Chain A
């Protein structure tokens, strides 16, 4: 839907250096379909209405069970949810609908599974910790996520695993140091990210997976950078592993961008490095004024240098198209 940027830019330049009239420019926009036509609106409505319908329905069901209606018998509560999970699962497996529709229904089943576990825990007072709940939920949908090949479902699984680890460190492993928690969270996201990038480079991931990779990459970068910055300012918390992870994963990101001729990691990784070095400057200079001046000069200098390199590389890669 958004692939016409090049034509738009060329028309803009032609209009700038010519006496093209308004109807003439409008005519060009029409010739090149620069405004969405019937086909685009059909596909937009198809995806938007199905996503909205599923999203509202799921939110409604979760709100309904969160209300914990006392008059509703236990069996009916669990039975309703189980019936919905089974119905969605059967539809996803046996229906002849398009893969997108079946995957949406399977994602709905994955969300309902969480609601089912929550209601079960609520009725029988299982006493499970939060991490138990999220781990059980993640384990239950793992197979679906592997089979479905649907980025939204993968992201849900990864989110559940992150919540599991986070609550585990809060409720059980309370003796873990802060940087150990950051590092563990980073590995939980970083390792799948490397695997998915590898598959993406070999075109083994479904189309339109880019947004999921970017989301996970930004989350992983924020976690790793936060852990290192925290260890810089807290001298009691050894942050050596964080630095080692940065030494392994940062070059991998740069290499991935260079290999795929994509600027994403070439912008993200240096930005993380700039933040880390800026923190080192802040920690290292006892004189506040000198530190602030040096940091502002460093940031402007590094961002300017980085932008220069990125623009140059981009021209090298795409300047001959």
Chain B
């Protein structure tokens, strides 16, 4: 179906659902659809180019400032840092085009690095400052990548604070906030899109930023000894992730009309299957990302979920303090369990389809 026909169809459907109260600005809609219709064929190539170029240019630029002796005083670095972030914001405002993303990213990251070196390393003020910059950027920036970076900056600042204060309790709070916010934002897409232009425009970048922030938290649970000394009680992380996972499974099974009895059985099976990973919350976390990716047809989430799942499972078995023989028995038993589940589900579906 051509874009114009599809748009007419969507408008007709919306009018049928909303009734006479439905009002829309046809001119604006047509203009924006016209402008954006090619972007769905862009893929990730241009974004990856901008990020890679932005990071490379930032490294060279900071190297230049250091060698040329332009950033010798802390005050100078702070001023230059604020100017760089202001420049990035200005660039973002001057043009809405994605072609300047690389330059905007380079300025933004350079600004953050300069501010970091311009302030005291251990001060909580810098974390607070970064969070303020992140929130301000989120509302002021208009471009996908810059909004995405501002979400990452917000959660990254939280992790920095947690790491520097070695607060295990705060890390679990981070995991709770990241898992719940990614889950809620993903499942509330229709609500957020209709809540006004501000969130509507920022939704894709917000979701991607939350996805990467959550996955970063999961990665840290797998390498916890390097990040937080003394983080042992992982079962709490498992419980936190399971809250979101069970909520998502409930939402999905409800949506496809699974009966209550079967649903309870499904929940019980899921908890039992994931119980061996009580001390590796990253595994159910990756499953959560994967399920949300499939449910919302979100290809980045789906790909991240697969990669995270493979990595976390491999890491889990690698870290187990067991002999290869015992590990092999556990792996083969799990494999047999999955194949049995596949066979049973396949047969059940074939029987259901025949009926």
A binding-site residues for B, Cβ under 8 Å:
1-2, 4-29, 31-32, 34-38, 40-42, 44-46, 49-50, 52-64, 66-67, 69, 263-264, 266-268, 271, 274, 278, 288-289, 292-293, 295-296, 299-300, 302-304, 306-308, 310-311, 314-315, 317-319, 321
The 25 sampled A-B contact pairs (Cβ below 8 Å) are A2-B299, A8-B297, A16-B32, A17-B197, A19-B22, A22-B190, A24-B17, A28-B17, A35-B295, A35-B296, A36-B295, A46-B345, A53-B340, A59-B317, A59-B331, A60-B333, A63-B331, A67-B324, A295-B57, A299-B56, A304-B100, A306-B49, A311-B99, A314-B38, A318-B37
Residue contact B257 to A38, C-beta cutoff 8 Å: yes
User: Of the candidates B32, B48, B68, B336, which one forms a contact with A289 in the assembled complex, judged by CB atoms under 8 Å apart?
Assistant: B68
Instruction: Provide the residues of chain B in CB contact with A67, threshold 8 Å.
Output: 323-325, 328
- Write out the residue numbers on chain A whose beta carbons fall within 8 Å of the beta carbon of B257: 38
Contact A292 B190 (CB under 8 A): no
List the 8 closest A-B pairs by CB distance, nearest first: A56-B335, A303-B53, A60-B331, A57-B335, A60-B332, A53-B339, A18-B24, A53-B338
Does residue B189 face the partner (Cβ distance < 8 Å to A)? yes
CB-CB under 8 A from A49, the residues of chain B are: 338-339, 341-342, 345
Which partner residue on chain A sits nearest B11 by CB separation?
A: A14
User: With contacts A41-B256, A300-B106 known, is A1 near B37, CB below 8 A?
Assistant: no
Residues on A with C-beta less than 8 A from B6 are: 6-7, 10
- Contact segment of B59-67, B82-90, B134-142: B59-67
> In terms of DSSP, what is the predominant structure of the interface of chain B?
helix
Given B38, B41, B193, which contacts A12 in the complex, CB threshold below 8 Å?
Answer: B193
Q: How many A-B residue pairs have CB under 8 A?
A: 291
CB distance from A261 to the nearest CB of B (A): 8
Given A45-B342, A288-B67, A296-B58, 6 extra CB contacts under 8 A? A10-B6, A18-B22, A28-B14, A34-B297, A35-B297, A57-B332
Question: Chain B: residues with CB nearer than 8 A to chain A?
Answer: 2-3, 6-7, 10-11, 13-14, 17-18, 21-25, 28-29, 32-34, 36-43, 45-46, 48-50, 52-54, 56-58, 60-61, 63-64, 67-68, 97-103, 106, 189-191, 193-195, 197, 200-201, 203, 252, 255-257, 294-299, 302, 317, 323-325, 327-342, 345-346, 349
Q: What is the bound-complex CA distance between A44 and B296, given in angstroms?
A: 13
Q: Given the interface contacts A16-B32, A278-B56, A296-B60, does A26 sit within 8 Å of B328 by beta carbon?
A: no
With A and B bound together, what is the CA distance between A120 and B63 in angstroms? Answer: 54
Complex CA distance for A310 and B340, rounded to whole angstroms: 48
